[in-house]
Structure 1
């Protein structure tokens, strides 16, 4: 009789302990789902823990250079990440030197409210200056720092509009350091 009562109470105790653990894990899972939904992450983003973003924008620099800016990046848990950015000039003036920028950024996505985020970017990359001469085209390559700040308006969890300010350095053919100040407006797709 004692063995039966002991086995009965042991079975009830184990069932109670299992029910408690299952209830706590369900609460934790529910809380994690709520946090991920608050971050605006899709199911695929929740699965990988990352958000991939591609951007396309028009950029104009104070030096008169203008062009298309294409970027692609990965945000870890929708907060910090890396971004590769390529500026391709589409200057109308054929006499002007063309400037290509290839930058790699560390980014931090700060979202104070759901529909708005601030994205400081610190980077480094290649600056290629192309000059038309009588002999043909000459190129000058320099590796210089770049910094940028994006203000992003989140239309939904996929589409974002952004405006950006960029500061960069590049060297010309006489190895003189020049500064670029420019602005961009564009579209970013997050998936």
Structure 2
């Protein structure tokens, strides 16, 4: 490992922590441009302006780097959902889901592709469980069952994730109209879908 450390130390302008951040940021840019698989670690190092050994030193391999991207994504995702859930309107949690997907496209492109990374990574599991807990808690409010209903959780998740995916893919006519706001469209969709559920006023 000595030769790797020497190569990394030659990457000008970066301290240890900043170098790791630079590689992750370069990965997010590459994912935005060519998806989560259309680049190599060597190309990523060139993009970040660091030694070709830097990504290997910090992440081991491509799966390790994508694990870091997914874990960071789930942390941001969980925080966004929790902030909305605290306000008490579960439909707004769905809107927050779509907002996250639109604002963090690269993270979103990796998070739900567990074949690309190490899904048992402790940091990733903890953040993913936080996000799942918000969805489960919302389902308990929507469901007529005292303990909540797994089917309701899946319905809410499918609605939010499906809408986000269709929007990002440009499959919806509204998504191709620059005058349309994805959050406003999503809000109308979720109100129509979950109108009149337990504890939810009709739209």
Shorter-chain TM-score tier: under 0.3
Query: TM-score normalised to the size of structure 2?
Result: 0.24
Higher helix share: 2
Higher strand share: 1
Larger relative contact order, structure 1 or 2 (CA cutoff 8 Å, min sep 6): 2
Compare CA radii of gyration and give the structure with the larger one: 1
